[in-house]
Chains A and B, each alone.
Chain A
């Protein structure tokens, strides 16, 4: 469980409290209310807050956009991430993951393309797939469906299901709620200025 206690950051987040269980957690909120800021704090990117966050040691975080040298290639990103993880033969491991998850057709062409010339959706697919192939307890996704085509959304949804089957925890902040209809059981949180409220009912039934 990730527990947020009395979290305050500037005037954006004030005394935020909440508990995220090891399941699918949907963080809702209007634009600019501080969803990304809250995720940045949970994921230890932003450490200049007051209050405390516990249980957030083993996580990986998908930002809204992949910020990586535009002159390097998709393979350089994957190799870098896998090297950080101590995974050898990145190409073999990544392509095996892509094949097992039915995404080889989409991901293979991105391997030798420069990050700068990838479309927003292609970048998101590469980033998402790389992150999902890592072994963590928690996966945090900021706007995972934004800019992704239908096949990409299907892939993302399938990956979320796979992670849930493996008893992983997920926090995501999509403005697009249509893909979430595939998940009848999830915790929904509403972030408002100075308040994080847990909504008990699922948004939809499959």
Chain B
């Protein structure tokens, strides 16, 4: 527990040192809603769920997977694990810190949504938190980036930028061959009800958890770029 608290405190201190970046990342979904969206296209809370999933996706990818790779490539993980081999317990504080960031983002975003639209704040909070809870296994999955040993942070950042663009661009597309868009799948998690849907979700969640834990257990903190 002391180790998890130590890392959480360190992550929060580091986040607070980057105030502009932090405020920008919290505000950008709300700004996007206000500036780029045709407000007539939002008729119910259902239409808001795509904003929540984007917040979750961006925070998990850049705040957990990419963050861990950055720390490894800058040899910061080497310093951390030189003091105590805490690689397995390093994952959980990353996730906790990013969950806190998402909750803050959600709070700001949901308040703005409820100021603009006649939605119940209780319903909005309930559904957004339900989505967050159900998406936690995908946070574990994002840690699997650390298995990419030789990739440079800058290169991966560029690749993730392209993947993110494609995922956001295709969110409204109907994919061929019955394929399910990953972001749409997470956005629709708040509606799963049938036994079959629940079983499929549980299997996917278990797989994500196992991949994340395997990554945390086996990854190397050894930087290929500097020592």
Contact = CB atoms under 8 A, between A and B. Distances in A.
Interface in B1-19: 2-3, 5-6, 9-10, 13-14, 17-18
B81 interface: yes
Nearest to A114: B17
Interface string A39-81: 0100111111000000000001111111111011000100111
Contacts of B122: none
Contact of A86 (B2, B18, B74, B221): B2
Contacts of B78: 40, 45, 63, 67
A63 B75 contact: yes
**A36, A76, A84 — which one has the most chain B CB atoms within 10 A of its CB?**
A84
A67 B76 contact: yes
B116 interface: no
A131 interface: yes
A71 B75 CA distance: 16
A71 B20 CA distance: 14
Interface in A107-161: 131, 134
A143 B173 CA distance: 57
A43 B6 contact: no
A62 B3 CA distance: 19
Interface in B84-103: 84-86
Chain A interface: which size bin?
Answer: 20 to 34
Contacts of B85: 44
B83 interface: yes
Contacts, number: 75
Contacts of B74: 67
Interface of B is mostly: helix
A40 B75 CA distance: 12
A181 interface: no
A76 B13 contact: yes
Chain B interface: which size bin?
Answer: 20 to 34
Contacts of A63: 75, 78-79, 82, 227
Given A71-B14, A71-B17, A134 B83 contact: yes
A31 to B, nearest CB: 13
A80 B17 contact: no
B220 interface: yes
A85 interface: yes
A80 B86 contact: no
A61 B78 CA distance: 9
Given A71-B17, A83-B3, 10 more contacts: A44-B85, A45-B221, A47-B218, A63-B82, A69-B14, A71-B14, A76-B10, A80-B9, A83-B2, A84-B3
26 contacts: A40-B222, A45-B78, A46-B222, A48-B220, A48-B222, A60-B84, A61-B82, A63-B79, A63-B82, A63-B227, A67-B78, A68-B76, A69-B76, A71-B14, A72-B10, A72-B13, A72-B17, A76-B13, A80-B6, A80-B9, A81-B83, A84-B6, A84-B86, A85-B84, A131-B83, A134-B83
Interface of B: 2-3, 5-6, 9-10, 13-14, 17-18, 74-76, 78-79, 81-86, 149, 218, 220-222, 227
